[in-house]
């Protein structure tokens, strides 16, 4: 049950970040909202599975500060891995993806832990 709570928290966090990002740039995303909600799972689910593996093997009974640091680094490494596989190193959009991944992974950890 903790895995599902963690995945749902990461999913909601990423959706909120994407909505705030679109509103801050005054993009019209009337038709994009449904695609954002559907295709966000493509990036979130592998990250959540990796986070669950990390949680069960490394961070399960450790200090919460160590877990937050570990999951922040895990989120950064996850985006770096995606960028290396894609072959694209744009810094502007990269920061947006890093924020999504880091906040999503820390929310996964917080909700997975409790």
Q: Based on the number of CB atoms within 10 Å of its own CB, is 89 exposed (0-12), middle (13-18) or buried (19 or more)?
A: exposed
Say how far apart CA 21 and CA 33 lie, in whole Å.
12
Q: What is the pLDDT of residues 47-64, one digit of tens each?
A: 788 888 877 877 776 788
* Per-position pLDDT tens, the chain of length 114: 778 888 888 888 888 877 777 776 666 656 666 776 777 777 777 878 888 887 787 777 678 888 888 888 888 888 877 777 777 666 555 677 777 788 888 888 888 876
């Amino acid at each position: 049950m903790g895995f599902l709570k963690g995945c749902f928290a990461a999913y909601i966090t990423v959706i909120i970040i994407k909505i705030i990002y679109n509103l801050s740039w005054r993009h019209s995303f009337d038709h994009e909202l449904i695609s954002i909600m559907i295709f966000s799972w493509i990036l979130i689910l592998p990250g959540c599975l990796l986070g669950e593996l990390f949680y069960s093997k490394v961070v399960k009974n450790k200090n919460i500060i160590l877990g937050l640091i570990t999951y922040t680094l895990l989120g950064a490494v996850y985006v770096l891995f995606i960028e290396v596989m894609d072959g694209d190193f744009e810094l502007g959009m990269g920061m947006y993806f890093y924020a999504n991944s880091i906040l999503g992974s820390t929310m996964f950890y917080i909700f997975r832990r409790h």
